[in-house]
Amino acid sequence: MTPRVSVVVPVRNGARTLPRTLAALAALEPAPDELVFVDNGSTDDTRARLEAFAATGLRAKVLVLGEARRGASVARNTGTRAATGEVIAFTDADCCPRRDWLAALVAPLADATVGAVAGRLHSTPPAGVVEAFSSLFTLQLPAAAARHTRWTPWAGGFPTANLAVRRALLERIGGFDESVAIYGEDYDLCARLYAAGAAIVYTPAAGVEHQHRVTLASMLRQAFGFGRSHAWLMRRHVPRGLWLDLPRVSLARPDFPVALWIDAGAPDKKALALLALGLAWRPLLILVPLYAGWLWWDVSGRARARGLAVSWVGRWGLVGCLLAKAAAMTGGRWWGSLRYGRACL
């Protein structure tokens, strides 16, 4: 028997992205049993857009709620409490689920040992350099299905832009941690689902297209937040273990006596290392422009593979975005390490 499904969508100032999101939700086949929108203190016309959508006479019941306390975690918990479905499917106000999203997302729950299902994130057609960059490098999930039973710094965490969870299980673990407004709350939820004995199935068949950030500042704030959350997640869920990323080599030692996560393969760190070598011995400075050229070649290949038409100059913009985002994430990880007492570098 197919379970009742409620789709919960937190929204704050979603006027730019809502039109495409609402159109996608209206086209779902099969339709959800209900759509629950939680307006999280919007100052634009988000609430009016949602209420107009609710009045269009969709097959699904539509609830539009308000939640004055800020934070995606709070909003999702508010929506979950109001929902009546046996399964809560989460997505965001900047996401466009594909028509068959719910069918593919709910199917693995036929296995009683599966507590949640995560789907794959794609990108809507980008309109500028920042969006094009994000479509190539942000929220890149694998093409192969997998089953997970443990969260580690490298695997087992999934964003709530495309995640379905059994309602009873959500209630048992207390929902999202409302002390975390945003960044890391989704991976924390996954880790607590595993601790409760549930498995999470990842299925690329359940597709959602994401509308990425359109400004460099918003993208960098997001990257800093992601980086900061890494140290917080380490403190909460990784009491010990070494997780080492080197160029083309990764090493995991869960038995390492202290918790340590080092990403030495990030582009900003590689660039700084080459610059330091060049300052120590001037002839090696040639490595810096060579590395920049290699990054240009790499992003060009990625853009061609995705069918993105990016100009010669625009590709240098992609390189700049890559280095800037990596630096923002590194800054967030260092700041989080100081705040949460976990070495995440």
Q: Tens of pLDDT along the chain (345 residues)?
A: 789 999 999 999 999 999 999 999 999 999 999 999 999 999 999 999 999 999 997 888 999 999 999 999 999 999 999 999 999 999 999 999 999 999 999 999 999 999 999 999 999 888 889 999 999 998 888 989 999 999 999 999 999 999 999 999 999 999 999 998 789 999 999 999 999 999 999 999 999 999 988 899 999 999 999 999 999 999 999 999 999 998 888 899 999 999 999 999 999 999 999 999 999 999 999 999 999 999 999 999 999 999 998 999 999 999 999 999 999 999 999 999 999 999 999
Which amino acid type is present at position 77?
N
Joined tokens for residue 271 = 């660039």
Q: What is the pLDDT of residue 72?
A: 94
CA dist., res. 205 & res. 189, Å (int):
22
Q: Distance (Å, rounded) from C-alpha 205 to C-alpha 145?
A: 8
Q: Is 135 left (phi over 0), alpha (psi -120 to 50) or beta?
A: alpha
Q: Is the dihedral of CA 302, 303, 307, 312 positive or negative?
A: negative
- What does the pLDDT read at residue 101? 98
Q: What is the pTM of this model?
A: 0.94
Place of tokens 């950030």: 213
Residue 249: its pLDDT value, please?
A: 84
Q: In terms of Cα–Cα distance, which of 131, 132, 124, 123 is closest to 304?
A: 132
pLDDT at 206: 98
Per-domain boundaries in the chain:
5-212, 217-344
Block residue for tokens 């594909």:
98
Instruction: Note the pLDDT of residue 155.
Output: 93
Please give the radius of gyration of the chain, using alpha carbons only, rounded to the nearest integer. Answer: 21
The token duo for 173 is 């673990």
Residue 224: enclosing H or E segment and its boundaries?
helix 216-237
- CA nearest 15: which of 94, 132, 91? 94
pLDDT value at residue 50? 97
Q: Give the model's pLDDT for residue 262.
A: 94
Q: Under a CB-based contact definition with an 8 Å cutoff, are residues 4 and 87 in contact?
A: yes
CB atoms within 10 A of CB 250: 12
- Say what the pLDDT of residue 59 is: 81
- Give me the sign of the Cα torsion angle 55, 61, 62, 65: positive
Q: Are 261 and 230 in contact (CB under 8 A)?
A: yes
CA angle 140, 146, 150 (to 5 degrees): 90
Q: What is the pLDDT of residue 2?
A: 82
Overall fold of domain 5-212: Spore Coat Polysaccharide Biosynthesis Protein SpsA; Chain A (3.90.550)
Alpha carbon distance 14, 55 (integer Å): 18
Specify whether the CB–CB gap between 92 and 178 falls below 8 A: no
Say which residues have a Cβ less than 8 Å from residue 178's Cβ, sequence separation at least 6. Answer: 69, 71, 73, 74, 77
Q: How far is 208 from 45, CA to CA, in rounded Å? A: 24
